[in-house]
Amino acid sequence: MWILGWIVFSIVAGFVGSGRKIGFGWAFFWSLLLSPLIGLIIAFASDKKSDVELRAVQEKQAEAIQVIKENSKKSVTDQIKEAKDLLDSGTITEEEFDNLKKKLLNS
């Protein structure tokens, strides 16, 4: 009779583990091998799948923000170089160049 209880509580531990990184199979395995209580502890100690996915998304967003920041810095530099080329060719005056540069650096 206690073997049936052991198996039932191991299945419960497996269901707890199914929503977590450990998964149903490993939580059930450890519960059968060690004890259902230790299997539950192991399952609860494992990260939730949603938390793992959320961390991955946050890391991707941080990388994307970093790339956008780098690209925006490059584009400001490129715009200043273009304005300098216009100044050198005589298309704009020194005052217009200074105004453009101030606007680009303040944005």
pLDDT digits (tens, 9 = 90+) for 19-75: 898 888 889 888 999 988 888 888 888 888 888 888 988 998 888 888 777 766 667
Burial (0-12, 13-18, 19+ Cβ within 10 Å), 11? middle
What is the domain count for the chain? 2
Per the structure, the complete domain to which residue 100 belongs is given by 51-106
The pLDDT of residue 41: 87
Same domain, 29 and 59: no
Statement to judge: residues 56 and 101 lie in one domain: yes
Task: Say whether both 101 and 64 belong to one domain.
Answer: yes
Checking if the pLDDT of 81 tops 80, the result is: yes
Q: pLDDT band for position 88 (50/70/90)?
A: very high
